[in-house]
Amino acid sequence: MLISFEGIDGCGKSTQIDLLKKHFEQEGIEFSIFREPGGTELSEKVRNLLLHETTEMDPVTELLLFSAARSQLIAEEILPRLKKGEIVILDRFFDSTTAYQGYGRNSVSLEQIEILNKVATHNTVPDVTFYLKIDLETADHRTDGNDKDRMERAGSEFFHKVIRGYDELSKQVRFETIDGTLPPDEIHQLILQRIKREKL
Protein backbone atom coordinates (compact mmCIF):
# COMPACT_ATOMS: atom_id res chain seq x y z
CA MET A 1 0.00 0.00 0.00
CA LEU A 2 1.28 3.43 -0.95
CA ILE A 3 0.30 6.45 1.17
CA SER A 4 1.38 9.98 0.25
CA PHE A 5 1.21 13.25 2.16
CA GLU A 6 0.85 16.59 0.43
CA GLY A 7 0.38 20.26 1.21
CA ILE A 8 2.25 23.54 1.23
CA ASP A 9 5.25 24.12 3.44
CA GLY A 10 4.16 24.38 7.07
CA CYS A 11 0.96 22.32 6.61
CA GLY A 12 1.91 19.81 9.34
CA LYS A 13 2.93 16.81 7.21
CA SER A 14 5.95 15.98 9.35
CA THR A 15 3.89 15.91 12.56
CA GLN A 16 1.29 13.64 10.96
CA ILE A 17 3.84 11.31 9.41
CA ASP A 18 5.46 11.01 12.81
CA LEU A 19 2.13 10.14 14.48
CA LEU A 20 1.37 7.56 11.80
CA LYS A 21 4.84 6.07 12.22
CA LYS A 22 4.21 5.68 15.96
CA HIS A 23 0.82 4.09 15.26
CA PHE A 24 2.28 1.48 12.88
CA GLU A 25 5.11 0.76 15.32
CA GLN A 26 2.62 0.19 18.16
CA GLU A 27 0.57 -2.11 15.95
CA GLY A 28 3.67 -4.01 14.87
CA ILE A 29 2.97 -3.20 11.22
CA GLU A 30 5.98 -3.11 8.85
CA PHE A 31 6.37 0.11 6.89
CA SER A 32 8.93 2.44 5.30
CA ILE A 33 9.00 6.22 5.00
CA PHE A 34 10.68 8.26 2.27
CA ARG A 35 10.81 11.96 1.60
CA GLU A 36 10.81 13.68 -1.74
CA PRO A 37 12.99 14.91 -3.19
CA GLY A 38 15.43 12.43 -1.69
CA GLY A 39 15.39 8.95 -0.21
CA THR A 40 18.34 7.46 -2.10
CA GLU A 41 21.97 8.55 -2.28
CA LEU A 42 21.53 9.93 -5.79
CA SER A 43 18.15 11.54 -5.04
CA GLU A 44 19.56 13.30 -1.96
CA LYS A 45 22.29 14.80 -4.15
CA VAL A 46 19.62 16.07 -6.52
CA ARG A 47 17.67 17.40 -3.50
CA ASN A 48 20.68 19.45 -2.54
CA LEU A 49 20.78 21.01 -5.99
CA LEU A 50 17.05 21.71 -5.94
CA LEU A 51 16.83 23.25 -2.49
CA HIS A 52 20.22 24.84 -1.93
CA GLU A 53 21.56 25.85 -5.34
CA THR A 54 22.04 29.60 -5.45
CA THR A 55 22.44 30.15 -9.21
CA GLU A 56 19.31 30.82 -11.28
CA MET A 57 17.49 27.61 -12.22
CA ASP A 58 15.35 27.36 -15.33
CA PRO A 59 11.81 26.13 -14.42
CA VAL A 60 12.00 23.21 -16.85
CA THR A 61 15.37 22.18 -15.40
CA GLU A 62 13.77 22.28 -11.96
CA LEU A 63 10.88 20.13 -13.17
CA LEU A 64 13.24 17.55 -14.66
CA LEU A 65 15.44 17.42 -11.55
CA PHE A 66 12.46 16.70 -9.28
CA SER A 67 11.40 14.01 -11.75
CA ALA A 68 14.90 12.51 -11.94
CA ALA A 69 15.14 12.27 -8.14
CA ARG A 70 11.72 10.60 -8.10
CA SER A 71 12.52 8.01 -10.75
CA GLN A 72 15.59 6.87 -8.83
CA LEU A 73 13.64 6.59 -5.56
CA ILE A 74 10.87 4.62 -7.26
CA ALA A 75 13.24 2.20 -8.96
CA GLU A 76 15.61 1.70 -6.05
CA GLU A 77 13.30 1.70 -3.01
CA ILE A 78 9.59 1.94 -3.63
CA LEU A 79 8.78 -0.59 -6.34
CA PRO A 80 10.70 -3.43 -4.64
CA ARG A 81 8.77 -2.77 -1.39
CA LEU A 82 5.37 -2.49 -3.06
CA LYS A 83 6.03 -5.73 -4.91
CA LYS A 84 6.53 -7.42 -1.54
CA GLY A 85 3.20 -5.99 -0.34
CA GLU A 86 4.77 -3.59 2.15
CA ILE A 87 3.39 -0.23 3.28
CA VAL A 88 5.25 2.80 1.99
CA ILE A 89 4.65 6.32 3.28
CA LEU A 90 5.77 9.18 1.07
CA ASP A 91 6.40 12.69 2.35
CA ARG A 92 5.42 14.32 -0.99
CA PHE A 93 5.09 12.62 -4.37
CA PHE A 94 4.22 13.61 -7.94
CA ASP A 95 1.27 15.77 -6.84
CA SER A 96 3.89 18.18 -5.47
CA THR A 97 5.28 18.48 -9.00
CA THR A 98 1.84 19.19 -10.45
CA ALA A 99 1.12 21.78 -7.74
CA TYR A 100 4.55 23.48 -7.53
CA GLN A 101 6.06 23.11 -11.01
CA GLY A 102 2.75 22.94 -12.88
CA TYR A 103 0.39 25.39 -11.19
CA GLY A 104 3.04 27.37 -9.27
CA ARG A 105 5.76 27.83 -11.87
CA ASN A 106 3.76 27.20 -15.06
CA SER A 107 6.96 25.50 -16.29
CA VAL A 108 5.22 23.44 -19.00
CA SER A 109 1.55 22.58 -19.66
CA LEU A 110 -0.37 20.45 -17.15
CA GLU A 111 -0.78 17.79 -19.86
CA GLN A 112 2.99 17.58 -20.25
CA ILE A 113 3.47 17.42 -16.46
CA GLU A 114 0.98 14.56 -16.30
CA ILE A 115 2.95 12.59 -18.89
CA LEU A 116 6.25 13.34 -17.18
CA ASN A 117 4.83 12.27 -13.80
CA LYS A 118 3.82 8.92 -15.30
CA VAL A 119 7.33 8.44 -16.67
CA ALA A 120 9.09 9.49 -13.45
CA THR A 121 6.89 7.32 -11.21
CA HIS A 122 7.09 4.31 -13.53
CA ASN A 123 3.26 4.56 -13.49
CA THR A 124 2.97 4.30 -9.71
CA VAL A 125 -0.06 5.98 -8.11
CA PRO A 126 -0.74 6.22 -4.35
CA ASP A 127 -3.70 4.31 -2.87
CA VAL A 128 -4.46 7.32 -0.74
CA THR A 129 -3.14 10.88 -0.64
CA PHE A 130 -3.60 13.02 2.45
CA TYR A 131 -3.79 16.70 1.60
CA LEU A 132 -3.36 18.86 4.67
CA LYS A 133 -4.96 22.10 3.63
CA ILE A 134 -3.94 25.39 5.23
CA ASP A 135 -4.09 28.98 3.99
CA LEU A 136 -1.01 31.00 3.24
CA GLU A 137 -1.25 33.19 6.35
CA THR A 138 -1.24 30.13 8.63
CA ALA A 139 1.68 28.70 6.67
CA ASP A 140 3.65 31.95 6.86
CA HIS A 141 2.94 32.22 10.54
CA ARG A 142 4.13 28.65 11.16
CA THR A 143 7.31 28.88 9.08
CA ASP A 144 8.22 32.40 10.23
CA GLY A 145 11.78 32.49 11.54
CA ASN A 146 12.74 29.17 9.84
CA ASP A 147 15.64 29.16 7.38
CA LYS A 148 13.91 29.17 4.01
CA ASP A 149 15.15 26.88 1.20
CA ARG A 150 15.13 27.85 -2.50
CA MET A 151 11.51 26.74 -3.03
CA GLU A 152 10.23 28.38 0.15
CA ARG A 153 11.72 31.70 -0.91
CA ALA A 154 9.24 31.95 -3.82
CA GLY A 155 6.72 34.72 -3.17
CA SER A 156 3.13 34.59 -1.98
CA GLU A 157 1.73 34.79 -5.52
CA PHE A 158 3.51 31.50 -6.25
CA PHE A 159 2.07 29.82 -3.15
CA HIS A 160 -1.47 31.00 -3.95
CA LYS A 161 -1.13 29.19 -7.29
CA VAL A 162 0.27 26.09 -5.57
CA ILE A 163 -2.75 26.02 -3.22
CA ARG A 164 -5.09 26.38 -6.20
CA GLY A 165 -3.27 23.42 -7.76
CA TYR A 166 -3.76 21.24 -4.70
CA ASP A 167 -7.42 22.25 -4.52
CA GLU A 168 -7.91 21.07 -8.10
CA LEU A 169 -5.95 17.84 -7.57
CA SER A 170 -7.85 16.99 -4.40
CA LYS A 171 -11.08 16.46 -6.36
CA GLN A 172 -9.79 12.97 -7.21
CA VAL A 173 -11.13 10.07 -5.14
CA ARG A 174 -7.73 8.93 -3.92
CA PHE A 175 -7.43 12.27 -2.07
CA GLU A 176 -8.45 12.82 1.54
CA THR A 177 -8.46 16.54 2.22
CA ILE A 178 -8.07 17.46 5.89
CA ASP A 179 -8.23 20.88 7.48
CA GLY A 180 -4.60 21.38 8.54
CA THR A 181 -5.57 23.87 11.24
CA LEU A 182 -7.36 21.17 13.31
CA PRO A 183 -5.54 19.88 16.42
CA PRO A 184 -2.85 17.33 15.41
CA ASP A 185 -4.52 14.44 17.21
CA GLU A 186 -7.85 15.09 15.47
CA ILE A 187 -6.07 15.07 12.11
CA HIS A 188 -4.33 11.84 13.07
CA GLN A 189 -7.69 10.16 13.86
CA LEU A 190 -9.10 11.24 10.48
CA ILE A 191 -6.03 9.78 8.79
CA LEU A 192 -6.43 6.47 10.65
CA GLN A 193 -10.11 6.30 9.69
CA ARG A 194 -9.29 6.64 5.99
CA ILE A 195 -6.46 4.12 6.20
CA LYS A 196 -8.84 1.62 7.83
CA ARG A 197 -11.31 2.23 5.00
CA GLU A 198 -8.52 1.32 2.58
CA LYS A 199 -8.48 -2.06 4.39
CA LEU A 200 -5.16 -2.03 6.05
Contacts to ligand TYD by CB under 6 A: 9, 13, 35-37, 51, 66, 92, 96-97, 100-101, 149, 151-152
Alpha-carbon distances of 89 from 45, 55, 137, 151, 167, rounded to whole Å: 21, 32, 28, 22, 21
| Minimum distance, C-beta of residue 175 to ligand TYD, in the bound complex (Å) | 16
List b or e across 81-90, with b for residues whose CB sees 16 or more CB atoms inside 10 angstroms. bbeeeebbbb
| Minimum distance, C-beta of residue 59 to ligand TYD, in the bound complex (Å) | 10
- Please give the Cα distance from 120 to 72 (Å, whole number): 8
| Minimum distance, C-beta of residue 87 to ligand TYD, in the bound complex (Å) | 20
Nearer to ligand TYD, 11 or 87 (CB): 11
| Minimum distance, C-beta of residue 200 to ligand TYD, in the bound complex (Å) | 24
Nearer to ligand TYD, 14 or 193 (CB): 14
